[in-house]
Structures are given as C-alpha cells and as structure tokens.
A and B are shown apart, each in its own frame.
Chain A
Amino acid sequence: AQKVTQAQTEISVVEKEDVTLDCVYETRDTTYYLFWYKQPPSGELVFLIRRNSFDEQNEISGRYSWNFQKSTSSFNFTITASQVVDSAVYFCALSEVTFSGGYNKLIFGAGTRLAVHP
C-alpha cells in the first residue's frame, strides 16, 4: 500500500529563516511520482513540483529547493529566506506510474501548516 507521512503538523518561523518540510513515503512500486502542493489560506491547491522516481537530482526553483533521497524514501522541501507569503499548508503526494508511463490517483500526506511571522 502507498502512504505519505508528513510528521510536522505545524511549523512556525520568523521571516527570512530557512525552513525544511519533511516528507516520507512508502510504496512497493519501483517507479512512482512525488509531488508538492501549496494550499494558501484562500484554500486552492497550487502545484509546486513533480518528480519521477528515476530522477534523484535535487531541484532548485528560486527560494524553493527539493531533496529527493530514494534510499530513505524522503522528498523534503526547503524554503530559503522565508516570507510571510509562504504561510500556507504544504502537501506532499505520491502516485504510482500508470501503464502508459503517466500517473493518475494521488495519495496525499496530512500536510504541514507553515506560519511565517514578520
């Protein structure tokens, strides 16, 4: 069975601090996709990143970076120099790879609520 664990329920930081959100996953599949979504106070879900299990390269996008470690089944997300606008709930998600090489159903973690204070 697939499972995503985000052990940090809530994190509170002061603006400009770096913060890392942890994500640990379980799957019997050898190939899979991992995702991060942001849910700001307005409620909608915003796609941040998708990573294929074949690609263990870390990725950086502006102040965001992701550390994928297959050996520890982790896909952690770091925000550098956090800002108040980063305050949101962040979800990690997992999906099996479909027969066609894509993905369909997402399994979500419980989310981590990040509060960035001025």
Chain B
Amino acid sequence: NAGVTQTPKFRILKIGQSMTLQCTQDMNHNYMYWYRQDPGMGLKLIYYSVGAGITDKGEVPNGYNVSRSTTEDFPLRLELAAPSQTSVYFCASRQGPDSGNTIYFGEGSWLTVV
C-alpha cells in the first residue's frame, strides 16, 4: 500500500543547480499538490493539478515548474536553485474536490541549497 511516494528524501544542491523532485501516487487520484514547509512555518502551496495535463499556481510558485503528463506522476522542477528554496517539500494527492476525499501526504523531501 504505497500511497504517495516522494524521491529523493534528502538532497543537497549548490546554488544555481537544477533538480526534480519526483512524486507518484498509486491511488488513481486526480488532484495532486506540492507544498513547501519552511522551519517554524506552515505549509504553503506551490503548485497543484486537478488532472493529467492541468496544472495551476499556488501561493508560492516562483522558481518552480511542474508537469502532469500522467495521473500518477507530478514532478516538481527547481531551476537555478537558491538558498531561499531550502525547505521541506511535501507532495499530496486526493481523489477529487468532494469534501469526503481526504488529502494524502507523502513523507516529505528535505532540500538544502548551499
């Protein structure tokens, strides 16, 4: 019962490098989300997707890109990494917008930009 799987769990990047955080879910969920959690702060929404081929910006999209070519995968791309992107990143998914559908979160990816 995998649920939402994120990779890598830990990564150190140098300033200016690029990387992709992978997220996959095996629950056939339509909605997927990327959040970031800064120390001592709540989660802030970066991007979300309501289905394959459809993505939209959240609260803090700058410096990131996403794609949703399949229902299962929702990768988050960091271009030109900056120290301000040091954070914990959470991917999440749910079946749809209905109130009874719970959001399932992955275990998080710890990213440090130095």
Contact = CB atoms under 8 A, between A and B. Distances in A.
Contact of A104 (B35, B48, B88, B107): B48
A101 interface: yes
Given A44-B106, A47-B102, A105 B48 contact: yes
A4 B42 contact: yes
Contact of B98 (A4, A44, A47, A100): A100
B40 A100 contact: no
Contacts of A109: 42
A91 B48 contact: no
Nearest to B95: A102
Nearest to A35: B103
B61 interface: no
A105 B99 contact: no
B94 to A, nearest CB: 9
3 closest A-B pairs by CB: A108-B42, A102-B97, A45-B105
26 contacts: A4-B42, A9-B40, A43-B108, A44-B106, A44-B107, A44-B108, A45-B43, A45-B92, A47-B103, A91-B43, A93-B42, A100-B98, A101-B98, A101-B99, A102-B97, A102-B98, A102-B101, A103-B99, A104-B50, A104-B97, A105-B58, A108-B44, A110-B41, A111-B40, A111-B41, A111-B42
Interface of A: 4, 6, 9, 33, 42-45, 47, 50, 52, 91, 93, 98, 100-106, 108-111
Given A43-B107, A44-B108, 15 more contacts: A9-B40, A33-B99, A43-B108, A45-B92, A100-B98, A101-B98, A102-B96, A103-B99, A104-B50, A105-B33, A105-B48, A106-B45, A108-B42, A110-B40, A111-B40
